[in-house]
Structure 1
């Protein structure tokens, strides 16, 4: 017969055995690691980038691609390359191509003028009625200026008048618009439009396209 002391000892051993079995069950469920639930890595989900393009750094001319556009009239067709994705709501002699966000634009006026490019630079400068107007350049048929638009804030415009008769008259005006921080990109767009511009040449006329 077991004494009370022996009975107490057996109960203690039985309790320890149950505890070990229970612990072993937890280990098996957790794949051999009792702390697996705490060691599992936490998945960090990065926010998706905004679909709205950022314009804080200005227009990057090096990243632009171009496509040929035709305008003018049937009798006097004109063509030039404009940035891909910039659309015009009208053709004819005064098309204006605007980027999808509305920040930048490129406009042509192919009606021509009997006035010289320098005269048209002076006329345009006098006609601009904008707040904080500041003219940065007015030489060689090019007008560069900044102003403040009530709705869009600081803006920049570059207008070039192109002559085909050594400056006696003007054939085409090309204007680009954006913001002051876009100046390098706007100059690139203006130069590319000038370089790719093709105008009709009358029979017997030796002027270049």
Structure 2
């Protein structure tokens, strides 16, 4: 026969068993919030912030300064202003000025042609053999196009032919190159080179066809 003390102990154990069972049932219904959670106490998990997009700003006109460069031939020197710090790896009638990073370039061809600027625009558009070539415009003796270079990725080119006889023939070609996001800067360089171009007095027509 159980004594009153033994009866009280059994009632206490029974109560604890019921409590554990109820707590287990609650966890089963709501899910265990502690399972698989390594977050220290006091720290609330949240969705990771979206990554900041990489800067895609291209070459800007207001970042450019210019200096005069002379090229051409001894008998027919030509000059124009090119961006400061850009160096040419070759002189003569076809200099090509590169920025220190090699991303942008400015090229001149002073040999001239008996073809008109519009004819040369059409010929250049047909001759470009690059992947994903897209001609953007071909107005006023200027060809603007984009393509994808196998090594450097998306590229943009702007070529302009300058006439000194009303468009009958072409005296100089100016070409700038860079990336599509550099368009504003490339246009500024092309226009500045055009505005500052100094040609020698004509001394007979020695231009190729």
Q: Same fold (TM over 0.5)?
A: yes
SS at match of 2:185: helix
* TM superposition shift of 1:202: 3.1
Q: Could you tell me which residue of structure 2 aligns to residue 118 of structure 1? A: 118
In 2: Cα distance, 1:92 partner to 1:155 partner:
26
Tell me whether 1:150 sits opposite 2:150 in the alignment.
yes
Unaligned ranges ≥5, structure 1: 1-53, 205-209
- What is the correspondence of 1:96-175 to structure 2 with a 5 Å cutoff? 96-175=96-175
Matches of 2:55 and 2:68, distance apart in 1: 25
The answer for the alignment partner of 1:85 in structure 2 is 85
Q: Shift of the alpha carbon at 1:139? A: 1.1
Shift of 1:63: 1.4
Equivalent residue, structure 2, for 1:199? 199
Equivalent residue for 2:56? Answer: 56
Alignment-derived partner of residue 72 in structure 1: 72
Q: With the length of structure 2 as denominator, give the TM-score of the two structures.
A: 0.70
- How far apart are residue 56 of structure 1 and its match? 3.4
| Other structure's SS at 1:146 match | strand
Please give the alpha-carbon distance, in whole angstroms, between the structure 2 residues aligned to 1:94 and 1:118: 21
Q: Residue deviations 1:55-82, cap 9 Å, x none?
A: 8310011111101000000100000000
Q: CA deviation at 1:186?
A: 0.1
Summarize the Cα distance change of 1:92–1:57 in structure 2 as closer, same or farther, 3 Å threshold. Answer: same
Q: How far 1:108 sits from its partner (Å)?
A: 0.2
Deviates more, 1:55-64 or 1:170-179: 55-64
Please give the root-mean-square deviation of Cα atoms over the aligned residues, in Å. 1.5
Q: Secondary structure at the match of 1:170?
A: coil
Distance 1:55 1:161 in 2: 34
Q: Structure 2, unaligned stretches of length 5 or more?
A: 1-53, 205-209
- Closer, same or farther in 2 for the Cα pair 1:126/1:59, shift >3 Å? same
Task: Indicate the larger mover: 177-186 or 54-63.
Answer: 54-63
Once the two structures are superposed, what CA deviation does each residue of 1:68-127 show, in whole Å capped at 9, x if it has no partner? 000000100000000000000111000000000000000000000000000000000000
